[in-house]
Amino acid sequence: MATDTSRRTVMAGTGSLSIAAALVAMAHEGAAAGLPPKSKKPVPMNPGVSPIDRGFVRIAEGPVHYRYMDGRERKPEMPIIMLHASPGSSERLAPLIPGLAQNRLVIALDTLGNGDSPPPAMRETTIAYYVDATIRVLDELEIERADFYGTHTGAQIAAELAVRHPKRVRKLILDGVPLFTEAYKKEALANYAPEMTPQADGSHLMWAWNRSGTPTTPPDEKQVSVMMQLKALTTYHIAYKAAFSHDVHALLPKITQPTLVMAIKRDPLSEFVDQAAGLIPGAQKELVETSPGIMGKLPTIQRYFGIKA
């Protein structure tokens, strides 16, 4: 575990707290080491204001951004780490966080090259590299073990982490596991995620719009997706290429933790739920038939992680 607190700074709101100072406050407030301390008094919020906090933790690539909510009070419950699909950010997972933080610390990371996190150190990398970066973040936050939820690319990272660092994972939810054929992956590597840069005529803006959602996706939802894609415009392809180069078929049988494979029915990756669950020893599976947006996933996640609704 990391012990050099002089290098670590977490930021929340408009101020920042050194970890050394934060640890003293945490000892009194019962918060997790490595996170900003809870306020002694609940801060009244205006209607519509999110209860989710945000912070940064520094690793070699720069300050990694995360969203979090700590509902543990003084109970030492297992944290939940959430890993989003790419391109995207923890913003996609934010609607789920309050429902999972009933008695848990929930942290949703922006993976490198996405959201408000810095880009990877290399332009060509692997899922194993994203695993290493995630472990370094957890070390800085002093989180030794957690339950993990990952969706799409995040599911690949979570699965690889469970195999490479089995003692760090108690339970695992893989939401939308890609089990593409080698031919499909070869085609995707060649054509699916071209490198992008801002264009003088603004054509990159329409490119992002056209890649966001479907013709029936509400414009306000597409706008959120477009903003995430534009934030990752010059780096989004790095995670995609790592994902399409990843041998998920060979990885899944190596998972030893209790695992749930799930997807919502309208997810294109839902076709792989049965196959993926069959490759993981003892895995459970669930296909969520209906989904009022992302919140349709919440009861399944709560149930598997033992969280009372």
C-alpha distances out from residue 36 to 28, 75, 150, Å: 12, 17, 24
Amino acid at 260: L
Q: Do 152 and 180 meet the contact criterion of CB atoms below 8 Å apart? A: no
Q: Which of 132, 79, 127, 83 is nearest to 104 (CA)?
A: 79
Q: Tell me: pLDDT of 260 over 50.
A: yes
Residue 41 is predicted with a pLDDT of 65
Q: What is the pLDDT of residues 216-234, one digit of tens each?
A: 777 887 888 899 889 889 9
Taking the C-alpha atoms of residue 309 and residue 306, their distance in angstroms, rounded to an integer, is 9
How would you class 198 by CB atoms within 10 Å of its CB: exposed for 0-12, middle for 13-18, buried for 19 or more?
A: exposed
Mean pLDDT in residue range 60-66: 97
Q: What is the pLDDT of residues 118-128, one digit of tens each?
A: 999 988 899 99
Q: What is the pLDDT of residues 15-47, one digit of tens each?
A: 344 433 443 343 334 344 567 666 666 677 788
Q: Tell me: pLDDT of 9 over 50.
A: no
pTM: 0.85
Q: Which of 109, 145, 142, 138 is nearest to 239 (CA)?
A: 109
Cα three-residue angle 23-154-228, rounded to 5 degrees: 90
Residue 40 is predicted with a pLDDT of 62
Mean pLDDT in residue range 104-110: 96
Taking the C-alpha atoms of residue 112 and residue 130, their distance in angstroms, rounded to an integer, is 7
What is 28-47 written as a DSSP string?
HHTPPTTSPPPPSSPPP--T
Amino acid at 191: N
C-alpha dihedral sign at 25, 29, 33, 34: negative
Give phi and psi for 195, each to the nearest 5: -65, 140
Residue carrying the six token digits 């490479």:
164
Q: Domain 5-38+50-180+242-305 maps to which CATH number in 4.10.1240.10, 3.40.50.1820, 3.90.226.30, 3.30.450.20?
A: 3.40.50.1820
Q: Tell me: pLDDT of 111 over 90.
A: yes
Mean pLDDT of the chain: 86
Q: Do 124 and 49 meet the contact criterion of CB atoms below 8 Å apart? A: no
Q: Do 94 and 52 meet the contact criterion of CB atoms below 8 Å apart? A: yes
Q: Tell me: pLDDT of 165 over 90.
A: yes
pLDDT band at 202 (very low <50, low <70, confident <90, very high): very high
pLDDT band at 131 (very low <50, low <70, confident <90, very high): very high
144 vs 23, residue with greater confidence: 144
pLDDT band at 291 (very low <50, low <70, confident <90, very high): low
290 vs 303, residue with greater confidence: 303
Domain boundaries, given as residue ranges, for the chain: 5-38+50-180+242-305
Q: Tell me: pLDDT of 108 over 50.
A: yes
Q: Tell me: pLDDT of 187 over 70.
A: yes
Residue 28 is predicted with a pLDDT of 36
Q: What is the pLDDT of residues 67-102, one digit of tens each?
A: 999 988 766 789 999 999 998 999 999 999 999 998
Mean pLDDT in residue range 208-217: 81
What is 172-233 written as a DSSP string?
EEEES-----HHHHHHHHHHTS------TTSHHHHHHHHTSS-TTS-HHHHHHHHHHHHHTT
Residue 61 is predicted with a pLDDT of 97
- Residue 128's CB: how many other CB atoms inside 10 A? 15
Taking the C-alpha atoms of residue 52 and residue 65, their distance in angstroms, rounded to an integer, is 13
